Amino acid sequence: MDRKPALDHMSLGTRSLFAITWPIFIELALQMLLRTTDTFMLSKVSDEAVAAVGVANQIISFGVLLFNFVALGSAVVISQYLGARREQEIGQLAGSSLGLNFLFGAFVSLLVMLFSGPLLGIFHLDHGLLHQAQSYLLIAGGALIIQALLSVVTSIIQSHGYTKQTMLVSLGMNVLNILGNYMVIYGPGGFPKLGVIGVAISTATAQFIGLLINLYLLRHTAKVQILWDQVIRWRRDHVEKVLRVGLPSSAVSLSYSANQFVTTAFISSLGASMLATKIYTQNIMFFVMILAISLGRGGQIIVGHLIGADERDTAYKQVFGNLIRSQFITLMAVAVMVFFRGPLLRLFTGDVDIVSLGASLLLLSFILEPGRNFNIILERSLQAAGDVKYPMVVSIAVTWAFSVPLTYLLGIYSGYGLYGIWAAFIADEWLRGVLLWFRWKGRSWQSKSLVQ
C-alpha cells in the first residue's frame, strides 16, 4: 500500500523533535501515574493496603522490564523500515513482534501467578500484608500479558509518528482507572467494595480497553494491516533484527535497575533520614528524568527514519542538533525545579535538615541532569542506527566497574555521604556520555543498519 508516512524524514528539525517528544513525555508521566493512582486512592482505605500494593508493584515493574525488549527492538526496526519506504513489510514485522511478546508475556504472567507466594516472601511481609499483596499480584500478574501486547502496539504506532494518539489513549486509561478505583474502593450506590482486589481488576480493565483502542489505531490510523497468519508464523530475519536491538537495549535497563537497588542499599546504611532525602530529591527531579527519556525516544524515532532512508550524514548532524536542543530544554526544566526546591521539599517533609540537604543536592542537578540527557540522547541514537552492543557494553562496564565502586568509595568509605554519592552519579552519567559521543563521532554505527 502506497502512502505517505506520518513522519516525513525530509523535514526534520527542532519542530519535529518537539512535536514527537511532548506527547511521549505526557504518556510516560501518565503510565507512571496509573500505578501511583492505585497507591494514592488506597491510602484512603489503609496503610496496609498501600504497603501490599506497593510491594506487589515492585514485582510487576520488574516483569514489565523483562518483556519490554520486544517493544524496544520493534520501535527501532520499524522506524528504519519506514525510512527505507518498505511499508509492505511492516505488517509482517508487527505480526511477528506481537506474536513473540504474546508468548513471552504469557510466560511471565504464568510465572508471577504460580510463584506469587515465594516472590512476595522475599520481602518478609506479615500474614495480613502477604494475603493482600498476593491477592493483588495474582490479578495484576495475570494481566502482564496485556501490558506485553500494549507495549509493542504502542511502540509501533509511535514509530509511525503518531505519538499524540498514544498519549490520548494513556490519558483515557488513567481516567478509566480512577473511575474504576472509585467504584471498588468507595462503593457508591451499593457497588461492592472490593479493596485491593478491586483496584487490581480496575487497572487491568483500563489496560485491556487501552490495548483494544491502540489495536484500532494501529490498523486504521497507522494503516498497519496484520493477518493472523503473520502473528503465528514469524519471519526469521524479522525476529532476529528485533532481538538484535531489543535484548542489548533491555540489558541496559536491567543493569540500571540493579544499580539503583545497590545504591539504595548503600544509602540505607547511612540512616533513614539520608534515604528519605534521596527519595524526596529524586521524586522532585523525576519530571526532568522523564523529560530526558522522552527526548531520547523522540530523537530515536527521527534517527531511525533517517538511517532507514540511507541519509547517514543527515542523521549524523541531526543528533548534534538534538543534543543542543535537548540540553537547553533540560536546563530550563532544572532551573524551574531548583527555583522552587524549598517549597517542593517541604511538601514531603518538615525536617529542616532533610530540606537543607535536599536543596543542596538539587543544585547539583545543573551538572547531573545535562549529563543524563547527554548520555540518553546518544545511547538512543546509536540504538536507532542499529549499533546496540557498544552502548550495552559501555553501560554495564561503567556501571559495575566504575560507578558502583565509586559510589561506595565516596559515599560510604570516605564518609562524604549523599554528596559523595551524587558526585558518583554525575561522574557515571558524563563518562558514559563521553564514551558514546566518541562512538557517534567515529561513525562506526554507519555499518550497523538493519535494513538496506
Q: Does residue 14 register a pLDDT over 50?
A: no
87 and 154 in a common domain = yes
Nearest to 421 by CA among 369, 341, 364, 348: 364
Lowest mean pLDDT among 111-125, 177-191, 293-307: 111-125
* pLDDT, tens only, 281-332: 887 888 898 899 999 999 999 999 999 999 999 999 999 999 999 999 999 9
pLDDT of residue 39: 66
271 and 181 in a common domain = no
Spatial contact of 275 and 267, defined as CB atoms under 8 Å apart: yes
Nearest to 125 by CA among 210, 56, 208: 56
Place of cell 526532568: 288
Residue 2 falls within a domain, yes or no?
no
253 and 225 in a common domain = no
Cell of 412: 560510604
Q: How confident is the model at residue 145 (pLDDT cuts 50, 70, 90)?
A: very high
Residue of 16 and 222 predicted with greater confidence: 222
397 and 346 in a common domain = yes
pLDDT of residue 172: 94
Terminal Cα-to-Cα distance of the chain (whole angstroms): 19
Spatial contact of 299 and 329, defined as CB atoms under 8 Å apart: no
Last residue of a domain, one of 184, 212, 234: 234
Beta carbons within 10 angstroms of residue 3's beta carbon:
8
pLDDT of residue 35: 64
Q: Does residue 437 register a pLDDT over 70?
A: yes
* Spatial separation of the C-alpha atoms in residues 82 and 79, rounded to whole Å: 5
Spatial contact of 285 and 429, defined as CB atoms under 8 Å apart: no
Residue 1 falls within a domain, yes or no?
no
pLDDT of residue 2: 42
286 and 211 in a common domain = no
Residue 127 Cα to chain centre, angstroms: 33
Q: Does residue 204 register a pLDDT over 90?
A: yes
276 and 194 in a common domain = no
What is the residue range of 91's domain? 9-14+21-234
40 and 152 in a common domain = yes
Q: Distance of CA 435 to CAs 325, 391, 444, Å?
A: 20, 9, 13
336 and 283 in a common domain = yes
* pLDDT, tens only, 17-26: 778 888 988 9
308 and 188 in a common domain = no
Is the model's pTM score more than 0.85? no
Q: How confident is the model at residue 394 (pLDDT cuts 50, 70, 90)?
A: very high
* pLDDT, tens only, 332-369: 999 999 999 999 888 878 889 989 999 999 999 999 99
Q: Using the 8-state DSSP alphabet, how is residue 189 labeled? A: G
Last residue of a domain, one of 234, 260, 288: 234
Q: How confident is the model at residue 155 (pLDDT cuts 50, 70, 90)?
A: very high
Cell of 50: 498501600
265 and 173 in a common domain = no
* Spatial separation of the C-alpha atoms in residues 18 and 325, rounded to whole Å: 9
Number of domains in the chain: 2
Residue of 144 and 87 predicted with greater confidence: 144
Q: How confident is the model at residue 98 (pLDDT cuts 50, 70, 90)?
A: very high
Residue 423 Cα to chain centre, angstroms: 24
Burial classification of residue 225, based on how many CB atoms lie within 10 Å of its CB (0-12 exposed, 13-18 middle, 19 or more buried)? middle
- Backbone φ, ψ for residue 361 (5° rounding): -65, -35
* pLDDT, tens only, 315-324: 999 999 999 9
Cell of 332: 530550563
281 and 227 in a common domain = no
Q: Does residue 272 register a pLDDT over 90?
A: no
Q: Which of 37-46, 47-56, 346-355 tops mean pLDDT?
A: 346-355
* Spatial separation of the C-alpha atoms in residues 223 and 242, rounded to whole Å: 21
Averaged pLDDT for residues 223-227: 88
Residue 407 falls within a domain, yes or no?
yes
Residue 452 falls within a domain, yes or no?
no
pLDDT of residue 8: 52
208 and 302 in a common domain = no
pLDDT of residue 278: 86
pLDDT of residue 36: 67
* Spatial separation of the C-alpha atoms in residues 252 and 262, rounded to whole Å: 15
Place of cell 532551573: 335
